[in-house]
Structure 1
Amino acid sequence: MTDAVDRSALRQFLLGLAQGMNASAESVDRIGETIAEIAAAYDGADIDFVVLPTIIIVETGDGEEERVAFRSVTTASFRFDQIAALYDLIAQARTGTVDPLDGIRRLNEIGAMRPRLGWFTRTLGHAILTTGLALLLAPTWQGALIAFGLGFGIGLLKLVRSPTLQLIMPIAAAFVCATAVFLLAEVVEIGDPIRLLIAPLATFLPGGVLTTATVELAAGQMISGASRLIYGFVQLALLAFGILAAGAVVGVSSRSYQPLDASSFLPWWVALLGILVFALGNYLHFSAPPSTFGWVLLALVVAYVGQWAGAKFIDPTVGGFIGAVSVTPVVFWVAGLRHGPPSQLTFLPAFWLLVPGAAGLVGLTEAFATGNGLADFTTALVSVMSIALGVLIGTALYRVVHHGAEEIVQFVVAPPPAADAEPAPTLWQRLSAPLRRLRRR
């Protein structure tokens, strides 16, 4: 009976870990790999599982002892402090040192964690986050001030815990922000009104969802990838509908949905200021642990410099690709440090900075409102694909370098063989072994 109780607790523990990783915006292939490692640490050779965006199934035992547990996954998302606590627990679970019952208790505590910062500080953080992104997308001082005010208002709305309001929040937020921006654009020099709208709506943009969907499709996870892709485009459509509805009420022309002249943009160093302000806003709004601010800022700088270099020296379409390739190994390297933050905590702000969702929202809005918007939307799709491809290639590069370095270190520091043992293979023999096997075939 003890074994059955232990297996039941282990099933619930694995379900909770997978649900938490899903709330941390992790892809299902990464969730599957992690759960497999943890199950192996608990001698779970008889454990099988299925991970999808909306349901998780875990099976233990064999034959008459077979037991199945499943859990419906909600769309709730974790704050940064919850993500950090979850991945600390995952690191311990990988070694099998956490009792499943204790792990379930800690998962419940993580889910019920109160924000480290108060409601006003988190709302102010949303306004600061919005201002930083406005300095990057539509850099005018007037636009930054308007973005701060709109960001503070949206931050207050997000504090309301009403299921009904949560359903219509994207449309309501887009409508309110677009109405304010279109009315102010007549009297204040704010630059491109559509790009300014992206800033207060940043936390509603499904940039991370679209990128994760593309990565999952490339990894062969067709069900989860396709469902996330559709979900992301529906979110974009809801936001675009709110903007278009506001335009119809205010009475703007189709020219208002097209990019404006950038002659009033601020100096180049304002972009660096925008990155710093954006990092500070993420830190405050998502109640990030104090030690993570510097790492998030590093990831944002690497992502932005990579994107800028790709757009400047190659083509704007591949800017996101270069940014993703640059930041992905850095994020995994930081996560591998002894006191480094989990990869998701630094990945998510970088996704928002690369703004694949922002490009999609601009393109979708112009597609409905102007004659040449469909071409812009196609360009946005290419940007999303390029960022996802950059994440895939960056991940592959990190794994090749990381595992290759580990093998070299193990070879160098390996203890001397016993007197009666076979001689250890030379470095050349290890490196040429795959080629010899290929020749024998």
Structure 2
Amino acid sequence: MTNLSTKTDDKAELASKVNDWVDAEEGYIDRRIFWDDAIYSLELERVFARCWIFVAHDSQLPEVGDFLTTTIGEDAVIVSRGEDGKIHTFLNSCSHRGNRVCFAEVGKARRFTCNFHGWSYGLDGSLKSVSRPKSYDGKSNFDKSRLGLHQARVESYKGMHFACFDPDAPSLEEYLGDFRWYLDVILDNDEGGIEFIDGNIKSRLKCNWKFPAENFVGDSYHAPWTHSSALIAMFGKQPTMRPDRSYHANANGHGWEFGLDFIGNAATLNSPQILEYLREHEAKFAERLGKVRSRMVASLSSANVFPNLSFLAGHNTFRTWNPKGPRETELHTWVFLNANAPEELKKEYRRGVMLTFSPAGVFEMDDGENFENCTAVNAGVVTRRQKLHAGMGLDSRIEHEELKGNVHQSQINEANQRAFYQRWADLMNAETWADVPVR
């Protein structure tokens, strides 16, 4: 069982060792960060409880009363569209005895009522009523205004809603930084933006959440090897990656590795309709995004918004890696497409993601086995003492006249992984956001 109570002195001692765990300059990572309970406990506090975490897309909550439930770290939360029309995010834990207030994954409600003692909360999390209110008459410190469900800050970027429990965290705009320029490749390549297709897949992996997150932030190195049989079955050969026309780009731990092949990822969905749609709109994408970014719209690529929101352009899937202890992760997967795209493309994208990146998908089964083994093998005492190496491309940083952020030549690289772990280390080592450097 994970120990989630770390004393202040223990936190300081742990934080003092962060620079020993992550050496981003040389590319060495301590294996204990994937296994140690005390590190995981501090991680929940210093990463998940104070970063901006994706909670919902606008299209998932179109009307007042629409809600969904999810987690931020291991904190259960309700995300709802309030009577004010805004998105609210608050703890899914009653202020009276801590019971879960809402057990549904998604739905529509006027209020959220705890089934233990009948305390009832509004769509904004405020306490509206209690059962037997006269029981609180007389001497009592009962104050409804102070007993609502604890609120997170909510800010949005082009329909993507993020929540943060740290009042001192920078704005979402600052948090994303230059990475917004890259997010626009999928969020804003069409004037209508994107929409999420109804429903999502939830699955469990016996792995530390950081392994899949760092895989998506920049590991194209594994694709020709891990996914060789699937790629050969689909294409009859391995896709060609051009080092001179592919890159790693990162900012504040967010990263995207990509080629400029335009449809490499989309081609694996095995849908002529999707490829036809992309080719018909290539000129419009270029007009809106510029030539370089238009070539990224469905290219061979992967990306991660720190800490745990990953996506695949072209496959059109978002996923979050939700920690359930240091050795287990719950994966939430959604399918999206341009809101103005033809209705018939919805089933094409849904079917394509099921083929490739679902629990039974040809790529995800390969990846899941690797992530689980990477975690399980670190149980060994001697094994955990050995550092992992992530030193590919240490001298690959370039200046690029069009690309933003920290840019490295070639998507076969580990620059984004090093940036991911550096951001993790910066947060783990910082007592407050003021101590977290901008990178």
TM-score when scaled to structure 2? Answer: 0.31
- Please say which structure displays the higher CA radius of gyration: 1
More strand by share: 2
More helix by share: 1
TM-score when scaled to structure 1? Answer: 0.31
